[in-house]
Amino acid sequence: MAKDVTFFIDCPTLEARMQTLPNVPSVADASGKRAVQRCDLLGHPPFSDMPHGLFRAYLSPAYKATVKQVRTWMEEAGMHCRIDAAGNLIGRYEGLVPDAPALLIGSHLDSVKNAGKYDGMLGVILGIEAVAYFHAQKKRFPFAIEVIGFGDEEGSRFPVSMLTSRAVAGSLDKLPTIEDEKGTSIQQALQENGLDPAQYLEAAYKPSQVLAYFEAHIEQGPVLESLHHAVGLVTSIAAQYRFQVVMKGMAGHAGTLPMHLRQDALAAAAEAISCIEKIAQSGPDDLVATVGQMRVKPGAPNIVPGWVEFSIDVRAGTESVRNAAAEKITHALQEISQKRDVDMTLTLQHDLSASPCNPQLGAILAASIQTVTGQPAYSLVSGAGHDAMIMAALAPVCMLFIRCERGISHNPAEAVQDEDVETALRVMCDFIQNIPSEKSV
């Protein structure tokens, strides 16, 4: 693991803005309510790159401000902090034996555009609250606890998601050559933040340094709410494909080009999107497919579009279902492009296999859920991807879901109840006290 690196650049304007923010409760007792309040505070500038709403991009000014504030909370909770070579924030609460393997508790600090306040961030803040609880009791374990705020889970700035957890898990062969929408390369962004791109892979842990990985996260669906459960046990994370599709036709004047002679790339894309939806609807309940991004050129109201790029996200509980759907979608898009006389390229951007959570850790977490709630743990599959699925390559993983109002996520309407978050915190603390000091396999 790399040593702490210089990350922050002095910014008087930022410091002045920080002083105008409302105070966050600084009571010594850890609580779910305080976790929610801290997430709420981080939902606004300077912790957002948007003046209204939340967008926290990796290595952006808002990201730097957030790391600074969350680091303060980690230190107040009794942790020693560092920024690793990938820009992740890591707080370590030492165990009874120095340099003992660590239980990693993590989630992400970045967000999608116009995001909710709890996706990712709540898992990081709950990790801090759990450590604060044990620190107040002067309680330590045979293992260390490390809380990790991953920098780039969403892929909202650069076109690769979960980049920084891949660095920590040691699953990156090299730092990819990628740019954000403004043309800034990731190498340049790292350098602007005092990080050396050549050292990026040094963020990797050795398996011997990690006991297990735990992640708490809002459920990104309405299942727990419909069943009146505050929390749930995640048994696995769905398989995912993400594709980039480019359709190239011929641009032409909207008033003079006859309909039967057109090579309209946008019309072809529209038919493709409708077909993608029908394929997903015809599959099993765990199959979903989404087109979430699109760019059109030339982009003028009086010109037939000659070029369109769009994304396809395909997910299912198993690789077999996901793969079969992707094959049908590929075949359908080829037929549409041939029929409409447009060229098409389809590129696989990332491939995430289904990731089962560790059953031994799951059994311990299930027991903690029943101890705290008095109800048997409800088990469910996560249709959304999480850093946990990447960290499974490094260590045994488990996840706790927290009820989210109407299952809304990646949206400003995201909402949680203080009582549910308090339940999650109590489950986490019970779980930490009951996990074995050796790896579960």
Question: Binding site: what residues are annotated?
Answer: 108, 119, 154, 217, 242, 302, 315, 410
Q: Which residues are annotated as a binding site for allantoate?
A: 242, 302, 315
Q: How far, in Å, CA of 161 to CA of 155, rounded?
A: 4
Please give the single-letter amino acid code of residue 428. Answer: M
**Is residue 204 within 8 Å of residue 376, measured between CB atoms?**
no
Backbone angles phi, psi at 269, to 5 degrees: -65, -40
Q: How far, in Å, CA of 190 to CA of 167, rounded?
A: 14
Secondary structure of the chain in HEC code, one letter for each residue? CCCCCCCCCCCHHHHHHHHCCCCCCCCCCCCHHHHHHHHHHCCCCCCCCCCCCCCCCCCCHHHHHHHHHHHHHHHHCCCEEEECCCCCEEEEECCCCCCCCEEEEEEECCCCCCCCCCCCHHHHHHHHHHHHHHHHCCCCCCCEEEEEEECCCCCCCCCCCCHHHHHHHCCCCCCCCCECCCCCEHHHHHHHCCCCHHHHHHHCCCHHHEEEEEEEEECCCCHHHHHCCCEEEEEEECEEEEEEEEEECECEECCCCCHHHCECHHHHHHHHHHHHHHHHHCCCCCCEEECCCEEEECCCCCEECCEEEEEEEEEECCHHHHHHHHHHHHHHHHHHHHHHCCEEEEEEEEEECCEECCHHHHHHHHHHHHHHHCCCCCEEEECCCCHHHHHCCCCCEEEEEECCHHHCCCCCCCCCCHHHHHHHHHHHHHHHHHCCCCCCC
Binding residues for Zn(2+): 108, 119, 154, 217, 410
